[in-house]
Structure 1
Amino acid sequence: MRLAAVLLFLATAFATCQADGYIEQVTQDIHLLRPRMGAAGYLLQGVNCLSWRLAVETNNIRNWKLVPENCEQYVGHYMLGKQYRKDCEIVANTAIEYAKNLTLSGDGKDIWIFDIDETTLSNLPYYARSDVLFGALPYNNTKFDEWVAEGRAPPVPGSVRLYRTLVSLGIKIVFLSGTAERFREIRTSNLKEAGYYIWEKLILK
């Protein structure tokens, strides 16, 4: 019983370290968020941020361009908090379960297509900057390209685990991205650094 307790403690500590490591990766150069507002019952004037988020996720609000200004900190606290990582892990778990139950042909033509941005690589360090504000400021293509050129995007939580499962099942990986072709070398290096070490094809714009 004591051994089991020790093993449980070590497993918990390891998981916590992994989570802290992810946060450390994405909290570089992050602007200071204002006090938590729009969450946990705090009232904000204007748009109700939880209602806005639900409407966006259910596609009832379409063609939106900016996160409402008063919801910037709401989005920030979600993205930097544990809930975002938990949500990503749930998606990965579901995809893994689906993949394990596939009837594969075994002819080498079984392919899984991954997007890159916000699917395998996270742009959270970029969106958390004071000149981006989690999408509350207009998108700036030049700034985003400069971020991509840095080649230091961390993996999306759970995605590497899904990727490794697919590779172990014999499924070939294809990465599909709207990233410009001139970033191929940088994107290749970034993917490998993040833990995606092999793939069949990388398709860029």
Structure 2
Amino acid sequence: MNFAGTMLILMGLLLLSGTTKLIMAEESSQATVTAHCLSWRLNVEANNLRHWKVVPEECIEYVGTYMLNGDYERDLAAVIEQAVIYARQFSPGEDDGRDAWVLDVDETALSNLEYYKTRKFGGELFNQDAFNSWVFSGNSPALTATLELYQQLIKLGFRVFFITGRDESQREITQDNLISQGFTKWDGLILRSESDHGDSAVVFKSRKREELIKKGYRIWGNGGDQWSDVIGNSVGARVFKLPNPMYFIS
């Protein structure tokens, strides 16, 4: 082999080495971002990270992947499985009809993932008007795992109450949407009335649970995707926090 040929081979090897290093650097950088976003999501779910407005820009792709690749469904199913196991310890159908279970609506009974796909999975600031338009479309599908829990609760004889931050003006469409997705029976669908406006979710939902207890109901289970669903007063004997890294409601 002549000198020119040798130099071409050497140059090729150098270019290959440089490309390999660039690929490795990019992979390392992506792994760092993924690790950072995993820690961010963990802190969100543990309620260590609060009052955030949007998903960090560097984590939008991560959250989108989490929501769509099956991880979200698996995490949700794991929570619901524990709720079902717990619920089966009771025989409320043989009691006085006052054994209750509370469920949230959005991202608990019904999914708004199709809406949040258009909002960078929470990477854009919340737009109340746009979300209201989505709600009034009545197209929110059931979260399958929660529907299975609901069916078990009804079969066991629990009194199911939905407590949602949706406005009273959305009662009819919310009711129709729930029924169309298989949630056909409940003892209460509680929405925000005009007098509830201005209260935080924690204050509003605590007050509504307290009202149920004053009526003689025993809240054995309480499930929601926000910490504001499951903290405060009269939360119930046991709470089940469902995953949701797309938005935060205080």
**Does TM, normalized by the shorter one, top 0.5?**
yes
1:178 alignment partner, SS class: strand
Aligned partner of 1:179 in structure 2 is 166
Contact kept in structure 2, 1:67 and 1:135, CA below 8 Å: yes
Aligned partner of 2:151 in structure 1 is 164
Q: What does 1:110-189 align with in structure 2 at a 5 Å threshold?
A: 110-129=99-118, 132-189=119-176
The CA deviation at 1:95 is 0.4
The CA deviation at 1:61 is 2.0
Alpha-carbon spacing, 1:108–1:90, altered in 2? closer, same or farther (3 Å): same
Q: Counterparts of 1:57 and 1:112 in 2: how far apart (Å)? A: 22
The CA deviation at 1:85 is 0.8
Q: Per-residue CA shift, 1:156-180, capped at 9, x if unaligned?
A: 2300100000000011111111101
Q: Counterparts of 1:154 and 1:45 in 2: how far apart (Å)? A: 32
Q: What does 1:67-82 align with in structure 2 at a 5 Å threshold?
A: 67-82=55-70
1:83 counterpart (64, 71, 87): 71
Q: Per-residue CA shift, 1:42-80, capped at 9, x if unaligned?
A: 346699211211222223322111100111110001101
Identity of paired residues, percent?
42
Q: Counterparts of 1:43 and 1:136 in 2: how far apart (Å)? A: 20
Alpha-carbon spacing, 1:148–1:203, altered in 2? closer, same or farther (3 Å): same
2:47 counterpart (47, 56, 59): 59
Q: Counterparts of 1:40 and 1:158 in 2: how far apart (Å)? A: 36
Aligned partner of 1:191 in structure 2 is 178
2:30 counterpart (39, 42, 66): 42
Q: What TM-score results when the alignment is normalised by the length of structure 1?
A: 0.75
Q: Counterparts of 2:72 and 2:28 in 1: how far apart (Å)? A: 16
The CA deviation at 1:87 is 1.0
Structure number with bigger Rg: 2
Q: Counterparts of 2:164 and 2:47 in 1: how far apart (Å)? A: 23
Q: Counterparts of 1:46 and 1:97 in 2: how far apart (Å)? A: 33
4+ runs deviating over 3 angstroms = 43-47
2:87 paired with 1:102? no
Moved more, 100-109 or 186-195: 100-109
Alpha-carbon spacing, 1:51–1:189, altered in 2? closer, same or farther (3 Å): same
- Computed over aligned residues only, the root mean square deviation of the Cα atoms, in angstroms, reads 2.2
Structure with a larger share of its residues in strand: 2
Structure with a larger share of its residues in helix: 2
Runs of 5+ unmatched residues, structure 1: 1-38
Alpha-carbon spacing, 1:149–1:101, altered in 2? closer, same or farther (3 Å): same
Contact kept in structure 1, 2:91 and 2:157, CA below 8 Å: no
Runs of 5+ unmatched residues, structure 2: 1-26, 193-250
Q: What TM-score results when the alignment is normalised by the length of structure 2?
A: 0.62
